[in-house]
Each structure stands twice: as structure tokens, then as C-alpha cells.
Amino acid sequence: MFAILLTAGYALMGAGIGAGLVAIGAGLGIGKIGASAMEGMARQPEAAGKLQSGMLIIAALIEVIALFGVVVCFLLANNADITGAL
């Protein structure tokens, strides 16, 4: 019984840590994209339109990957069998 609860606790802890790492990674990725785009627009203002559209596409892809990671963490948390040992 204790081993099942311990395994469920590890699954929930892993899901929480994984969701946190996904959020941190997405934030860092989008921050890096924004900083690079602003630097590029400052260096070459006439290319601002192309830089902005590319930045938005890449930011959307990062958000999709982050959402996929959070969904995987939720699935891991929901499959942790907490009540099975009681």
C-alpha cells in the first residue's frame, strides 16, 4: 500500500515539476525571441514587418509546444492512482 502511494506521489511531483519547467522554458524562449526581434528592428527599421511576422509565428509555435508539455503533465497527474491504495 505504501509503495502505491509513494509511486503516486512521485507521479504528482513529476507532473508539477514538469509543468513548471515547461512554463519557464516557454517564458525564456518568448523573451529571447522578443529581445532579438526588437534588436533587429532597432538595427534595420525597414525590415520591421518581416521581423514581426516571423516573431509571431515562432512565438505561436513555442506556445503550442508549451501547451503540449502542460497537457502531458496533466495526463501524468491524472493517471497517478492515489485512491487505488485506500
* For range 20-46, the mean pLDDT: 95
Quick check: 82 pLDDT over 70? no
SS (HEC) of 22-80: HHHHHHHHHHHHHHHHHHHHHHCHHHHHHHHHHHHHHHHHHHHHHHHHHHHHHHHHHCC
Model pLDDT for residues 63-77, shown as the tens digit of each residue: 999 999 999 999 888
**Domain tally, the chain:** 1
Inside any domain, residue 55 = yes
Inside any domain, residue 73 = yes
Kindly report the CATH number assigned to the domain that includes residue 35. Answer: 1.20.20.10
Domain that holds residue 28: 14-79
Query: Can you read off the three cell numbers belonging to residue 68?
Result: 503540449
Is pLDDT larger for residue 1 or for residue 49? 49
Full-model pTM: 0.77
pLDDT confidence bin for 86, thresholds 50/70/90: very low
